[in-house]
Structure 1
Amino acid sequence: MNDAHFHLAVNHLPIIIPIVGLLVMLGGFITRSAVVKRTAYCIFILGALCTIPAAVSGEGAEEVVEHLNIADHHIIHEHEEVAETFILCSYLLGGLALLGLWANIKRKTFSSAISIVTIVFSLVVLFLGSNAATTGGEIRHTEIRNDSGGDTHDDEHEDHNDDH
């Protein structure tokens, strides 16, 4: 397994895990269960921890892709910049979740406020993760690039008059 393969194997986790955390946290609000909210916090922390191998493997994946000469350096750099913002915010979400877990266990008065902030911030992180995923996909999948120049209109689906 080379660096690019490893990166592809682990880079989905920091995006998928916060989705699960968000759903569990919403379930905690609906059921008003402190235990479910604690579970959500642990899931967010796991998502932040899974960001580490994805971030660390990015540089090696970049070297492999540049050696294969399959993508313009500008596209790779754009992904790197977007991913760095996502990585930072993913770590912040993990830290916020750690604070929320502590506040929930200690039954602090601000525990509910932290859980709401965690939900809102997780949406921001998921948006940034979506951007990182899209720019990462553009490295290899030219068909999803904005500048691919391809016409998205399929000539097979033109309107015809079938009245005979």
Structure 2
Amino acid sequence: MNLIHLHLLLNHVPTVGTVIALGLFLVSLVGKSDDLKRASLAVFFGIALLSLPTYMTGNAAQAAIKGRQGVSEDLVETHRDAALPALVLMEITGLVAWLGLWQFRRISRPTRWNLSAVLLLSVVTLVLMARAADIGGDIRHPEIASGTVGSEWIKSASIASFVLGRPWVWPASETLHFIGLALLLGVVLVVNLRMLGIGKNLPFAALHRMLPLGILGFGINSMTGMLFFIATPGQYTQNVAFFWKIVLVMLAGVNLLYLTMFDEPWALGPGDDAPLTSKVIAASAIFLWVGVIYCGRMLPFIGNSF
């Protein structure tokens, strides 16, 4: 399966997934169901993860249909520009939704501001997703197109020009990227090494409060990584190391839900040994994030990056 096929497989997931997550969330609010709240917040987080490869594979699809008869390049570019703010809002929604899951563990329920933020962000995200999807449908079905190509308020080309045209932007973004990575990996190691038996005198619940720092690092990495990708998409979409990096990030994100939603880690008090399942999850988390770092470092040496 190439990246074009992958984009065709994924391109409806963010929009449809957001509809499903928002529907579950609204039902949970009306029915005051904590279980449905958890489920909907987890779905929001999952859709945020899947939105990353959906957007990135879109660049490969754009390159593949460029110059084809009957395909409007202006419409393709507008679709790409429309997808960018939708992606940003989806990532923010996913992070805020995860924070709600974290609050379920820390204080037994999400705060009112968190639920309000998830509701507002998800509605705005759905509107932006639907607009991007509508424009995308016009690309291959010109018979339903309005005939005019609008202009988006955020343009990918302008962001690329900003990143590449100013000598300080890329180094500054790299610095932030490594700071985010340090936060993320530090929390991953501390929390998962505890489950592997190191620092057994510490209860897991005490370490759990560090997870938002890891999510903050993940958010920093996501945003700076998107700047790199938008600036020079071609050097990433054709690089096998980048493909595997994104796959590992997706798996690591799913792995994170175990620490947030499942009860086994929370049963660990001072001196307790984690069950085998928790140890396997912990070892896999460390392996996945080390793999992400390795693939990132291999970008200059595999494929055509840099």
Q: TM-score range by the shorter chain?
A: 0.7 to 0.9
Residue 12 of structure 2 corresponds to 12
| 2:45 alignment partner in structure 1 | 45
Matched residue, 1:116: 116
Contact 1:103 1:110 in 2 (8 A): yes
Q: Deviations over 1:69-89 (max 9, x none)?
A: 331211111001001111111
SS of equivalent to 2:70: coil
Which runs of structure 1 show a deviation greater than 6 angstroms over 4 or more consecutive aligned residues?
none
Hey, what's the Cα distance between the residues in 1 that align with 2:8 and 2:68? Answer: 16
| AA matched with 2:5 | H
Tell me which amino acid in the other structure corresponds to 1:16: V
Distance 1:99 1:113 in 2: 11
| Higher RCO structure (Cα 8 Å, ≥6 apart) | 1
Which position in structure 2 is the counterpart of 1:21? 21
Provide, for residues 5-58 of structure 1, a one-character-per-residue CA deviation record: whole Å limited to 9, x for no partner.
321110111111111111111121122122221111100001101102211101
Question: Residue 76 of structure 2 aligns with which residue?
Answer: 76
CA distance in 1, matches of 2:109, 2:62: 46
- Equivalent pairs counted in the alignment come to 148
Match of 1:145 in 2: 145
Matches within 5 A, 1:86-105: 86-105=86-105
Are the aligned partners of 2:3 and 2:60 in contact in 1 as well (CA < 8 Å)? yes
Which amino acid in structure 1 is aligned with residue 28 of structure 2?
G
Hey, what's the Cα distance between the residues in 2 that align with 1:33 and 1:109? 11
Alpha-carbon distance in 2 for matches of 1:72, 1:88 = 25
Amino acid at match of 1:20: I
Structure 2 segments unaligned to the other structure (5+ residues): 149-306
- Distance verdict in 2 for CA 1:109–1:29, change over 3 Å: closer
Classify 1:49/1:110 alpha carbon distance in 2 versus 1 (closer, same or farther; 3 Å): closer
Match of 1:63? 63
Partner of 1:130: 130
TM-score, structure 1 as length reference: 0.82
Deviation at 1:122? Answer: 0.6
Q: 1:15 touches 1:129 (CA, 8 Å); kept in 2?
A: yes
- The two structures have a TM-score, normalised by structure 2, of 0.46
Specify the SS of the correspondent of 1:71: coil
Deviation, structure 1 residue 108: 6.9
In structure 1, the residue matched to 2:251 is none
SS of 2:123's partner is: helix
> In the alignment, which residue of structure 1 is the partner of 2:36?
36
User: What RMSD in Å do the two structures reach over aligned CA positions?
Assistant: 1.8
**For residues 94 and 109 of structure 1, what CA distance do their matches in structure 2 show?**
17
Contact kept? 1:4, 1:65, Cα under 8 Å = no
Residue type of the alignment partner of 2:96: L
> For residue 106 of structure 2, what is the aligned residue in structure 1?
106
